[in-house]
Amino acid sequence: MSSPSNRNPSKLLEQRLPTYQAQVEEALDRLLPKAATLPMRLHEAMRYAVLGTGKRLRPVLVYATGEAVGLDPQHLNGPACAVELIHAYSLVHDDLPCMDDDDLRRGRPTCHKAYDEATAVLTGDALQSLAFRALAEETPGHVSAEARLKMVASLSVAAGSRGMVGGQALDLEATGRELDLAQLEDLHVHKTGALIRASVMLGALCHPDYDHDRLERLDRYAKSIGLAFQIRDDILDVEGNTEALGKASGSDARLSKATYPGLLGLAEARRHGEELVERALESLEPFDSQANCLREMATFIIERRS
């Protein structure tokens, strides 16, 4: 693929973001069963939960990691769809009355409000299954069966009880309790960070025999931006407004959740986020300009407004 070295790096993500968002949207649209397929209400709800909205940051990370390791992002739709489907399922379940009980998500009624609770539970379940199908069947042909299995295992660990679901369990246990910084970090390394790390890893694992040291650096990058992402999310929950966020602001306070601004204060939380972005950029030092999109993603994550 073409080297971005002769482009203004600060403009790269501006170009890539809409391209990659459109690419994954089209791939998801193809992958999701049509709304007219039986059972129609379930398929309609699955399409409602996934299509037409969302920043698609995790798929963009898959594509941008592909760029960084010298792959053609056109071939990475399988892993890109897989991480977005897991993310969409987690949002549907997280919004349920038995979890955060939210009415608004991505600027629209949450899945259980637009449909009903049972349909929302099944929607999340089916999106999770579809994610693994995307990974197993839509991963580029040059990826060996062994690497494919490794990718399935990585996503499974990231999504499961040692990853995102485990983080959600810690979050539920922590509601109304005080956490120290290490406990808060542990919660978010699992709840939000695991899927962000998996997004980067799946992009890199599509490269046969990718350099071990560089894989570790990519993982360190992903770990840092995962936490920075969560810090920004906590800050936006305090400072953002419901319209811009597309979900209710102030919900952390309503649910008595431990947050970075709550623990550190807003200024220190911001500083901690910036430090994590610096750490992420340091991890990418040996990479050439093909990693510029990843570099810009790190900055975007901490500056985003929604």
Question: Which residues in this chain contact ligand GRG in the complex, by CB under 6 A?
Answer: 54-55, 57, 87, 90-91, 93-94, 99, 106, 164-165, 168, 191-192, 230, 233
Of the pair 105, 207, the CB lying nearest ligand GRG is at 105
Give me the least distance between CB of 90 and ligand GRG, in Å please.
Answer: 4
User: Collapsing DSSP states into helix, strand and coil, what is residue 248?
Assistant: coil
Give which of 2, 72, 61, 64 is closest to 293, Cα–Cα: 64
Of the pair 77, 230, the CB lying nearest ligand GRG is at 230
Give which of 57, 34, 61, 60 is closest to 46, Cα–Cα: 34
Half-sphere exposure of 279 (CA within 13 A, CB side): 16
Alpha-carbon Rg for the chain in angstroms:
19
Cβ neighbours, 10 Å, residue 7: 13
Of the pair 106, 133, the CB lying nearest ligand GRG is at 106
Give me the least distance between CB of 247 and ligand GRG, in Å please.
Answer: 7
Give me the least distance between CB of 88 and ligand GRG, in Å please.
Answer: 8
Give me the least distance between CB of 233 and ligand GRG, in Å please.
Answer: 5
Of the pair 90, 154, the CB lying nearest ligand GRG is at 90
Give me the least distance between CB of 65 and ligand GRG, in Å please.
Answer: 16
DSSP string, 192-260: IIHHHHHHHHHHHHTSTT--HHHHHHHHHHHHHHHHHHHHHHHHHHHHS-HHHHTS-TTHHHHTT---H
Of the pair 43, 93, the CB lying nearest ligand GRG is at 93
Give which of 79, 91, 18 is closest to 50, Cα–Cα: 91
Do 88 and 32 form a contact (C-beta atoms < 8 A)? no
Give me the least distance between CB of 211 and ligand GRG, in Å please.
Answer: 29
User: Collapsing DSSP states into helix, strand and coil, what is residue 8?
Assistant: coil
Of the pair 221, 300, the CB lying nearest ligand GRG is at 300
